[in-house]
Amino acid sequence: MKKLLVTGSSGLIGSEVCKYFSDKNWEIHGIDNNQRAIFFGESGDTRWNQIRLEKELKQFQHYEVDIRNREQVLKAIANIKPDVIVHTAAQPSHDKAADIPFDDFDTNAGGTFNLLEATRRVSTNIPFVHLSTNKVYGDAPNFIKMKELNTRWDYDDEKYKNGIPENFTIDQSKHSLFGASKVAADIAVQEYGRYFNMPTVCLRGGCLTGPNHSGVELHGFLSYLVKCNLEEKEYTIYGYKGKQVRDNIHSYDVANFIHEFIKSPKIAAVYNIGGGKNNTCSLLEAFSLIENISQKSMLYQYSDINRIGDHICYYSDLSRMKTDYPNWDITKNLETTFLEIYTAWIQRNKK
């Protein structure tokens, strides 16, 4: 039985990866210390996901390990000797990073480096999958020529008609401290691949979403938006007239791509992973989508002040992913994803 080690195993992508590979009869080892609850408070707590995995998965073992703790990480990976590592643990908010800069950098950059070196010491043949972020591009996408439509912004440059490619600049732009710590991690993952000839991949995520997300205002766009709608809580739009655009990918499709990668791994690979142009929506469009499902009006207020380093429009060019891994494609569209998030919220909040 193959062994998979997942960091951030109680989070959105981590838990989805655990279930996906458990269903394929892998032995799952999950590392998570519920740091999200420290970062975001009670609403960010992921213990419920840990409990769900321990109850539902046949071959699952949880480890209360802090990836910032080098000795814990070295010991865990040496003892488990996994066949594959999927690293999803992170401080995920570019807003929160400014309040906790040491925790942000130590988690995102230091934690990733600890995992890479621990992996190398066990074997340079272990595929290492790193969940990076589109924030490594900083605010550079904002300088692409744009056009304003009725409910959204979009690129007005033929070069980017399919979205942002992997060779887009990550330099000379404002990233937020979160973006900077994730750049450090991203480059380290690539370097371990190139320098030590290790099979590594950076997956630069757009909006990763799904029904098992503990969305909060500072992280978890769609999950938090649906939660606000159903709880009739006011949502705050920060700038850009609510027309800022994101591409959204269901966590299952992320796990599915990871599976394709580890079947045919590459050295120091980089991919932009998101829903692509067909699965984009602006905030205003997202409001309409959830209102149609819930039959509840979206309560919101508007602030003229946009978030520092925020993207006006961002969606991933999936061309390289589909070329390198032709068996992979998006299987869950935007409407399905919204419905799943809505249904999961209703089920979790039944009295």
Distance of alpha carbon 106 from alpha carbon 264, whole angstroms: 31
pLDDT-derived band at 351 (thresholds 50, 70, 90) equals: low
Name the token pair of 259.
């599976």
Residue-averaged pLDDT of the chain: 95
The rounded distance, in Å, linking the Cα atoms of 320 and 302 is 37
Question: For 327-344, how does the pLDDT look when each residue is reduced to its tens digit (9 = 90+)?
Answer: 999 999 999 999 999 999
Assign residue 41 a region (left: φ > 0; alpha: ψ between -120 and 50; beta: otherwise). left
Report the pLDDT value the prediction gives residue 308, as an integer from 0 to 100. Answer: 82
Distance spanning both ends of the chain, measured CA to CA: 40
What percent of the chain stands above pLDDT 70?
98
Predicted confidence band of residue 72 (pLDDT cuts 50, 70, 90): very high
Instruction: State how far the Cα of 161 lies from the Cα of 177, in Å rounded to an integer.
Output: 29
Closest CA relative to residue 63, chosen from 41, 79, 44, 39: 79
**What's the number of domains the chain is made of?**
1
Average pLDDT estimate for 101-124: 98
Q: What is the pLDDT of residue 219?
A: 64
* C-alpha span between 51 and 62 (Å, rounded): 10
Instruction: Specify the pLDDT at position 41.
Output: 87
The tens digit of pLDDT for each residue in 251-269 reads 999 999 999 999 999 999 9
List the domain range (segments joined by +) for residue 341. 3-348
pLDDT digits (tens, 9 = 90+) for 129-156: 999 999 999 999 999 999 999 999 999 9
Higher pLDDT, 34 or 221: 34
Split at pLDDT 50, 70, 90, the class of 218 is low
> Which tokens belong to 248?
């959204």
Among the residue ranges 212-216, 224-228, 241-245, 314-318, the one predicted with the least confidence is 212-216
pLDDT greater than 90 at residue 128: yes
Least confident of 55-59, 130-134, 199-203, 219-223: 219-223
Read off the amino acid at residue 65.
Answer: V
pLDDT exceeds cutoff 90 at 215: no
Q: What would the mean pLDDT of 50-74 be, rounded to a whole number?
A: 97
Mean pLDDT throughout 148-165? 98
What is the predicted pLDDT for the residue at 142? 97
The domain that contains 320 carries what CATH number? 3.40.50.720
**316 beta partners:** 164
Q: State mean pLDDT over 305-329.
A: 95
pLDDT for 212: 82
pLDDT in tens, 269-306: 999 999 999 999 999 999 999 999 999 999 999 999 98
Output the six-digit token pair for 48. 């419920």
Per-residue model confidence (pLDDT) at position 94: 83
Q: Please give the model's pTM, rounded to 2 decimal places.
A: 0.95
> Is 16 in contact with 251 (CB distance < 8 Å)?
yes
Alpha-carbon distances of 185 from 75, 85, 114, 166, 207, rounded to whole Å: 21, 15, 10, 16, 19
